[in-house]
Structure 1
Amino acid sequence: MSLDQWIGLIVIVISLYIVWQIKEVLLLIFAAVVLATTLNRLSRCFQQFGLKRGFSVLLSVSIFFAIIISFFWLVVPPFADQFQELTKQFPEGLERFDTWLEDLKLRVPSALSPYISDINSLIQQAEPWLKRVADSSVAFLSGSLEVLLKILLVIVLTGMFLAEPLAYRKVFVRLFPSFYRQRVDGILDLCGVSLERWVAGAIIAMFVVGGMSFVGLWILGVPAALALGILAGVLNLIPNLGPTLSAIPAMAIAFSPDSPWRLLVVLILYFIIQQIESNFLTPIVMAHQVSLLPAVTLVSQLFFAYFLGFSGLFLALPLTVVGRIWLEEVLVKDVLDAWVDKSKGM
């Protein structure tokens, strides 16, 4: 290798190392880009009705904040009230469970009764596990401030990107060599179109899943059905795992000592919704929006969750959409397709 090639290789290695060190910051920037792309698409829809760019952006941002405020207003209070109700019912449940254990001791043979523990011994056995849960809760609360600051940073960056999108785009394009800048500008156009299509498909799936969850829980008489439906729709942004995560709070709220059967019915309901979403809704909606193979989607979730944590899991699909375009355009078309074996011409 020549000196220029060695220098180029060293620069690439150093650049990759720097990117790895600041991966969390880059992930926040990417989240802001996705949000700005969504709001920009909405503002362009308003512009089609004759509104000016500035007013359209302001209206889009106002709608976004209204949705966020409505989400917390609809979801948080019912969960807080239901949690208080669960704390009241929990001691009663323990007393009923203790009574059931005492009756069981009287019904089983005397040789087996010593192996049936009472409620106090079960609590002592579960004490180490409860301690770990408490420690995890403290760690979660201590990290809430950090999460809030990250969210504020994403919102501020989104506003900056919306205010002057072309200026930030030019700065990014100038990071590449002059002969490749026009090509990068075209790749960014493709990324923008693909992100907008993904956002449209995700919103459709979110409303459908949230609506099915709300209707099913409302029919079953589960408290806070609207809040649980909204939560199911939002968590549906995480493919494969989102419906499972949304089922946990629904089952916790649905549980009642008087009607334990409702817990099983809620589980069956979420299983049916997950099957409809994964086998019918996602293939039909996303096939017209973003062409991603199911195996690629699952592998990308595992990859980004392992290296980037929960934020990587939440942004796995848009990261995969953008990454696929860059790999296809740069690696495949510009490198591999243009590769010429010089030995054949000799």
Structure 2
Amino acid sequence: MPTRKTPSERDELARYLEKLLITLAVAVLALLILRWRQVFLLGFGAALIAVLLRALANPIRTRTPLNAAWSLAVAVVALVVVIGLAAWFVGAQVSAQFDQLSQILPKAWAATQAELGSFTAGQWVLEKLQEARTDHSVASSLGVVAGRLGRLTRVGVGVVADLALVIVAGVYFAAQPQLYRAGLLRLVPAAARGRIAEAVEEVGLSLRKWLVGTGLAMLGMGALIAVGAALLGLPAPLALGLLAGLAEFVPIVGAIVSAIPGLLLAGTQGSQTMIWTLAFYVAAHQFEGHVLIPLIQRRVVSVPPALTLFSVLAFGLLFGPLGVILATPLAVTVLVLVKRLYLREEADDIGR
């Protein structure tokens, strides 16, 4: 005769089956995302825009008699005005400096090759670069990339039409968040809608905090690198600062990539300037890691550095360059969903 299960054993089995079903659902969702990865990434980018706009609109709504729609409109207009004023005052200088970078960097790479060739270790590095061939040598490819860096940075990553689509969709998401949230919840069973709704709210709050922290880090590092590059006498300090600030959106990897143009430019002014520039970039990012980021993360969501690095690698392999750019907010989203839906942790535990 089979043994009857106790109520506690039945509850444990039910929880196990629930987690198993969640895992299967996540696996199916992952397959769908991989199949329509471009649509997913554009949608996620639009959601980030919406979170940013709501973060700007909420203080206006709480401090003024304006309703949600008018608060959003004021936030959008204010953002456009700020960007327009920044472009008006420094846009011409930044554009000229990027043109300067596009002309200087190929020569800087050639000078760096010559400098490396004077050392035994440098000769070994150049030989390895020459051996690593696809259709063209890595060294030649680096020269081409260096020459086009300024133009690529100005137009951004991806197609302009996709960027416009993301911005417009983000405004729509921000204008009627409850409409899209309700539509999303209709896709899940009624019994799970309450917990899913809480998880979605927590994802939105976590992304908002992450955006605030990342924005502050981008402003801080951009200003610091620009000032340091000017003091070191490097060409195009504003462009180098803008590159460093934008690169902060992709932690760790962005910091390494943004230092390459500065080091190449320093190489044209001699080995001593290059050493001082390298020391400055290392010191700046040490300051960021030990002072700036800890101050910011007191009030925002933090992602462990190892998880951040592997997220960049994983999402880069899955989704390509756009996956690298959106890796950290995707990691924040996955982290929150796992903790709330699978581990069933409370909101206060998320981000610890």
Tell me which interval the TM-score lies in, with the shorter structure as reference length. 0.7 to 0.9
Structure 1 residue 327 displacement after superposition = 0.7
Equivalent of 2:184, from 172, 196, 212? 172
Give the structure 2 partner of residue 212 of structure 1.
224
Give the structure 2 partner of residue 151 of structure 1.
163
Give the structure 2 partner of residue 34 of structure 1.
48
Q: Which amino acid aligns with 2:57?
A: S
Structure 1 residues 183 and 67: alpha-carbon distance in aligned structure 2, compared to 1, 3 A threshold: same
CA deviations on 1:152-175 (whole Å, 9 max, x unpaired) are: 221121121122211111111111
Structure 1 residues 181 and 45: alpha-carbon distance in aligned structure 2, compared to 1, 3 A threshold: same
Give the structure 2 partner of residue 62 of structure 1.
77
Structure 1 residues 320 and 16: alpha-carbon distance in aligned structure 2, compared to 1, 3 A threshold: closer
Distance 1:132 1:239 in 2: 24
Q: Which amino acid aligns with 1:299?
A: F
Equivalent of 1:266, from 249, 268, 277? 277
Give the structure 2 partner of residue 45 of structure 1.
59
CA deviations on 1:286-338 (whole Å, 9 max, x unpaired) are: 2431143222222222221221222222212211111111111111129xxxx
**Identical pairs, percent:** 27
CA deviations on 1:86-118 (whole Å, 9 max, x unpaired) are: 67x67x979xx7xxx9xx9xxxxxxxxxxxxxx
CA deviations on 1:59-92 (whole Å, 9 max, x unpaired) are: 32234445656469253321103433567x67x9
Structure 1 residues 150 and 158: alpha-carbon distance in aligned structure 2, compared to 1, 3 A threshold: same
Give the structure 2 partner of residue 23 of structure 1.
37
Equivalent of 1:225, from 210, 213, 237? 237
Determine which structure has more spread, i.e. the larger CA radius of gyration.
Answer: 1
Structure 1 residues 228 and 66: alpha-carbon distance in aligned structure 2, compared to 1, 3 A threshold: farther
Give the structure 1 partner of residue 102 of structure 2.
83
Give the structure 1 partner of residue 10 of structure 2.
none
1:75–1:231 Cα contact (<8 Å) kept: no
Distance 1:291 1:85 in 2: 38
2:43–2:166 Cα contact (<8 Å) kept: yes
Within-5 A mapping of 1:129-144: 129=137
Q: Which amino acid aligns with 1:196?
A: R
Structure 1 residue 144 displacement after superposition = 8.4
Q: Which amino acid aligns with 2:250?
A: I
Structure 1 residue 18 displacement after superposition = 2.5
Distance 1:203 1:86 in 2: 28
RMSD across aligned C-alpha pairs, in angstroms? 3.8
2:199–2:340 Cα contact (<8 Å) kept: yes
Within-5 A mapping of 1:289-304: 289-304=300-315
Structure 1 residue 282 displacement after superposition = 2.1
Give the structure 2 partner of residue 344 of structure 1.
none
Q: Which amino acid aligns with 1:252?
A: L
Structure 1 residue 205 displacement after superposition = 1.4
Distance 1:51 1:248 in 2: 49
| SS of residue matched to 1:333 | coil
Give the structure 2 partner of residue 305 of structure 1.
316
Structure 1 residues 243 and 17: alpha-carbon distance in aligned structure 2, compared to 1, 3 A threshold: closer
Residue 329 in structure 1 maps to residue 301 in structure 2: no
Give the structure 1 partner of residue 6 of structure 2.
none
Structure 1 residues 177 and 46: alpha-carbon distance in aligned structure 2, compared to 1, 3 A threshold: same
| SS of residue matched to 1:288 | coil
Structure 1 residue 146 displacement after superposition = 5.4
Distance 2:158 2:291 in 1: 38
Distance 1:193 1:210 in 2: 26
| SS of residue matched to 1:223 | coil
TM-score, structure 2 as length reference: 0.72
| SS of residue matched to 1:176 | coil
CA deviations on 1:15-65 (whole Å, 9 max, x unpaired) are: 543232012211111111112101111111222331523343233223444
1:240–1:278 Cα contact (<8 Å) kept: no
1:247–1:270 Cα contact (<8 Å) kept: yes
Residue 288 in structure 1 maps to residue 307 in structure 2: no
Structure 1 residues 93 and 333: alpha-carbon distance in aligned structure 2, compared to 1, 3 A threshold: closer
Distance 2:193 2:184 in 1: 9
Give the structure 2 partner of residue 314 of structure 1.
325
1:254–1:266 Cα contact (<8 Å) kept: yes
